[in-house]
Chain A
Amino acid sequence: MGTFHQCPGSGMVDRSDEQDEGRSGDVSSQLRQWPVQMHLVSPVAPYYQKADVLLAADCVAYALGDFHAEHLKGKALGIACPKLDQQQTVYLEKVKAWVDQAKINTLTVMIMEVPCCMGLLSMAQRAVQEADRDVPIKAFTVSLKGEILSEQWV
């Protein structure tokens, strides 16, 4: 197992020697929309109307073994990378439009434990603060090993 060097967001971790039998069960996709990337989505698309929306950092779905069944199920999705994506003010405006125009029901933000990922949650919180409506925000933090480190209403 490696350790973080300088930037924890890009520090190398190697767990290839860890064995896992895997889990059988519901592995069908829970995605009910396209597109999903925040630059590509229209915030007023029908699937966002009054929906429970999940805003996930790009890496989350790869890290979590049960992302579809446990987290995406029943939710409309938007994905983004707060570290690398350009023009993130567009994201802020789109989240505001989710709240005010699509009148979403809840916003769940899932981020990785690396510090730079916090930016996605901060952006979402700011957008909801600036919006005219108010919606509950729930935040999940996911570890590099794919565990849920915290689940919290914010």
Chain B
Amino acid sequence: MPDIGHRPVVEVIENHPRVGEILRDHDIACVDCTEASCMLKDVVSIHNLEPEQAEELARQVAAVLGVDPDEVEMEVSSGPTRSEPSPVIRILNDEHLTIRRLVGLTPAMAEQVDPATVSDRDLLHGAVEFIRAYADRYHHAKEEEELFSLFDQNLEIFQVMRLDHEMARGEVRAIEEATESQDRAAVAEHLSAYHDLLEEHISKEDDVLYPWIDRQLTDHQVGTLFARFRQIENEMAEIRRRSEEFLQKVEQALAVRDGAGRVSGQTPKTN
């Protein structure tokens, strides 16, 4: 089997479902990953396995494929293992928590919010504005423009991440359009699609991509990224302030609605 290590994991699993089970036994959930464009040989380094575990995994996979373990080309990642994320990755992890607060509100929004009312349309426009300002400008200024750009953009993992970003932007546009056309079902559908996409995307970044990136970053790069991140935070302080304010407002509104069925102190207007 020539170049088996260079085949997409998803294809290998499709042809040999047992490989998927073996990976799952090693806590590697490629079977559940919808894109899984990573190559078989990269699985070990991306998931930062210990050398003994990597060797065992290669042996098991090779046995199923009927090849020599060396042909799988699974290489252990280089660089020291750092148990704590670097300060730059910590900043991005924290921003994911903020984005997740909004994402966590989308099921309640989908259920309760009716774009036929002015106040609910305002709320939906607010959510769209939050995502564009906080996730797309504030967070991606650091993540895409600064962090990702240090790496070879031809690597599949970055292409997958950028594709996710594009798809998320598409869902946000769809939420906005459905809001304007007061199509409640379409609003709910795209909020839900955005929710699922973001939950999976953020997990991929927090659990796989960021730890992998962190292991490649030199101390010097951590320092320069950190300074740049602080500069971006200063330049976009207003976005951060407005986003936090919006989140608090919506969290309150939806919590109140949960009990009372509508936003407290407001009579929904229809027009």
Residues of A within 8 A of B (CB): 52, 74, 104-106, 108, 134-136, 138, 151-153
Partner of B87, one of A74, A108, A136, A151: A136
- B82 contacts which chain A residues (CB < 8 A)? 151-153
A-B contact pairs, 5 of them (CB 8 A): A105-B223, A108-B219, A134-B226, A136-B86, A152-B84
A152-B82, A153-B86 known; A106 vs B220 contact (CB < 8 Å): yes
Q: Is B226 within 8 A of A135, CB to CB?
A: yes
Q: Is A152 within 8 A of B83, CB to CB?
A: yes
**Distance from B218 Cβ to chain A, minimum over Cβ atoms (Å):** 9
Q: Which residue of B lies closest to A151 (CB)?
A: B80
Q: Which residue of A lies closest to B214 (CB)?
A: A153
A152-B84, A153-B85 known; A136 vs B230 contact (CB < 8 Å): no
A108-B219, A138-B219 known; A153 vs B87 contact (CB < 8 Å): yes
Q: Does residue B224 face the partner (Cβ distance < 8 Å to A)?
A: yes
Give CA–CA (A108, B227) in the complex, Å.
16
Q: Is A106 within 8 A of B84, CB to CB?
A: no
- B255 contacts which chain A residues (CB < 8 A)? none
Partner of B220, one of A74, A151, A153: A74
Within 8 A of A (CB), among B215-250: 219-220, 222-224, 226-227, 230
- A104 contacts which chain B residues (CB < 8 A)? 223
Give CA–CA (A74, B220) in the complex, Å.
9
Q: Is B223 within 8 A of A52, CB to CB?
A: yes
**Distance from B94 Cβ to chain A, minimum over Cβ atoms (Å):** 14
Give CA–CA (A134, B91) in the complex, Å.
13
- A134 contacts which chain B residues (CB < 8 A)? 226, 230
Give CA–CA (A1, B227) in the complex, Å.
46
Q: Is B87 within 8 A of A105, CB to CB?
A: no
Partner of A106, one of B83, B85, B90, B222: B222
Most buried by A among B80, B226, B230: B226
A105-B227, A153-B87 known; A136 vs B80 contact (CB < 8 Å): no
Give CA–CA (A152, B85) in the complex, Å.
9
- A138 contacts which chain B residues (CB < 8 A)? 219
Q: Is B86 within 8 A of A52, CB to CB?
A: no
Q: Which residue of A lies closest to B83 (CB)?
A: A152
A105-B227, A134-B230, A136-B226 known; A52 vs B84 contact (CB < 8 Å): no
